[in-house]
Structure 1
Amino acid sequence: MQQNHNVTEFILLGLTQDPLKQKIVFVIFLIFYMGTVVGNMLIFVTIKSSRTLGSPMYFFLFYLSIADSCFSTSTASRLIVDALSAKKIISYNECMTQVFGLHLFGCMEIFVLILMAVDRYVAICKPLRYPTIMSRQVCIILIVLAWIGSFIPSTAQNILALRLPFCGPNLIDHYCCDLQPSLKLACMDTYMINLLLVSNSGAVCSTGFMILIISYIVILHSLRNRSAEGRKKALSTCTSHIIVVILFFGPCIFIYTRPPTTFPMDKTVAVFYTIGTPFLNPLIYTLRNAEVKNAMRQLWHGKIISENKG
C-alpha cells in the first residue's frame, strides 16, 4: 500500500457554516470548556488538598478529572478557535495528533470509569476485605495499567490513520479530526480499515459498557440486604456513576460500532461525549456527593481564614 499523502492540511467544516450560528457556537462551547476546566481543576485540587478524600474512589476520581480535562481540551479548544476563524485549517500533523489525543484520553476515561465501578463493587459487596483488595499499591498499579491500556488502542488508531493516503479533497465534515470522518477522504478502499476501527474503538466502548452495566446490576442486587440508610448512600454514589456511563457510552457506541457509514447527526452526537460529559462529570460528582462538597467547603473556609490571618 502506498503510504504517501499529497494533502498537507485539512479544512474542518465545524458544526455550522452560518456566521451567526458560529458566534453562538463560540460562546456556548467556550462556557462549556471553561466550566469543564474549572470544575475538574476544583475536583483534583480538592482531592489533593483534603485529608478526608483519601479513599480509592477519590483516587480514581482524581484521574477521571485529568482525563476529562485533557479529553475536552483535545476537541473543544479546536472547535472554539475555529468558530471565529474564516478558514478552519488544521495541518496534517496537528490532525494526526488530535486523533491520538482523542482516543488516548477517551480510552482513559473508559478504563477509569471501569475502575470506579470495581471500587464500588468491592466496597459494597466485600466491605470487610475492601482495605486489603483496594490498597494504595493496588490502585496505583490499576491506574498504570489503565494508562497502558489507553495507549495501546490509541496508538493502533494512529498507525491506521498515518497509513491512509490522502490525495484530495481535504474537507472533513466534522469539528475535530477523528479517524471515521477522515476515512471518507482517503484515496483507497477503507472497508477493512473501518472494520479494524469498529473492532478496536467499538470493542473498547461496547466491552467497557457491558462490564459497567453488569457490575452495577450486581451491586444494586446486593443492596437488597442492606439497611435503608446504607442503601440510600450506596444508591446515591452508584446513580452518579450510572448517569455518567449512559451519557458517555451511549454516543460512543453509536459512533464507533457501525458499518462504514456516516450520518449528518454524527457531529451533534459526538458533542455529548467529547464536550458534554467532561463538563457534566464535575457537576455530577460534586452536587451528588456530600463528602466532596464538605471537603470543598473546608478547603475554601481554610483559605479564607488563612487570608484573614495574613
Structure 2
Amino acid sequence: MTWLVTGGAGYIGAHVVRALRDAGLAPVVLDDLSSGHAAFVPEGVPFVRASLLDAEAVAAALTDHDVTGVIHVAGFKYAGVSVQRPLHTYEQNVTGMITLLESMQRAGVEQCVFSSSAAVYGAVDVDLVTETTAKNPTSPYGESKLIGEWLLRDQEIAAGLRHTSLRYFNVVGSGDPAVRDTSPHNLFPLVFDALAEGRQPRIYGTDYPTPDGTCVRDYLHVADLALAHVAAARRLEAGEPLEPAYNLGSGDGVSVRQIMDAVASVTGIAVEPELAERRPGDPPRIVASGELAARDLGWAMRHTLAEMVDSAWEARRASA
C-alpha cells in the first residue's frame, strides 16, 4: 500500500514519512517547500515538489505512484499570522483541500487521514477538551481546519471517502536528529533561539489560576504523533471503523514554567525568563483527553517532558 504524505518535507510530515517507512508502508512525499526542507525527505522516498493548488501535479502524483491513501499534513499552520493573512490561509488550507479531494476522487483514492488541529475548539473554558467539546475557532487557521473536516464529511456522503481527522495542540521534540522544528512561531525554537543569541526567553503571564501561575497546554512528542497517523492509516486499509475525529491529548498538560525548567535542566544553560503581561485571549489551560485515540489508535504519551526537550535540543545542535 502506498501513502501520499502532503507536506512530507515539513517537521511533522517528515516524521510521518519515517513512521510509515518503519511500519513497512510505502510513502510518497508531495511538498512545495514553502516551509519544508528537501533534506528532511529520507533517501529513497519518492519526492514530488508541487503545491496542492496545482491540480495536475497532485493528480499525477496520485496516479504515477499508484497511491492508495493520503495523509494530509500540508497547510499554512501559523494561527497568529492567519489573522493578518486570512485569504492566504483559506487558499492554502481550504482550496488546497478541495483540490486534493477532487484529485483523489478522479484517481479512485478513497482513504484519507487529515492532520487537523485542536485550534478548531478555540479558547475553551473546560478542564478537559473532548471530541464533543463545542467548536469555536478564534482564527482563520482554526476555521480552515474545521472546514477541512467538513469537506471530508461531505465527501464521505457524496463519494464514499473513508477518513479520520487527528486534532492536537503543540508538537515538540524530534524522532530523528536530522529533522527539527524550524517554525519561527513555536515555543521550543523560540526558546532555543533566545538562548543561542544570549537572550532570555519570555513568559507571558504568571498570574493565571494554574499551579505555578503560567499557562498550561498539551505538548506532544512528534514521534508519538507520527505513530498515531500510521495507526489511523492501517485501520483505514483494514476497513476497520474509525471515529470522524480524534484528540491526541495528554490529559494533564504542562505549564510554560515547567518547560523553561526542563530546558535549563537538559541544556545546562541558566534560564531566567523575562516575565511579561498576559497576552490577550490566552486561556489559562487547554488540555485534551486522548481516551478515544488510545482506544482505537494505540495513542500514548511515550516520552517524558525531559525526553521531548532533549530530543529537540539534540536536533537543534545537529543542525548547527
Higher relative contact order, chain-length normalized (CA < 8 Å, sep 6+)? 1
More helix per residue: 1 or 2? 1
Scaled to the shorter chain, the TM-score interval is: under 0.3
Larger Rg: 1
More strand per residue: 1 or 2? 2
What is the TM-score normalised by the length of structure 2? 0.25
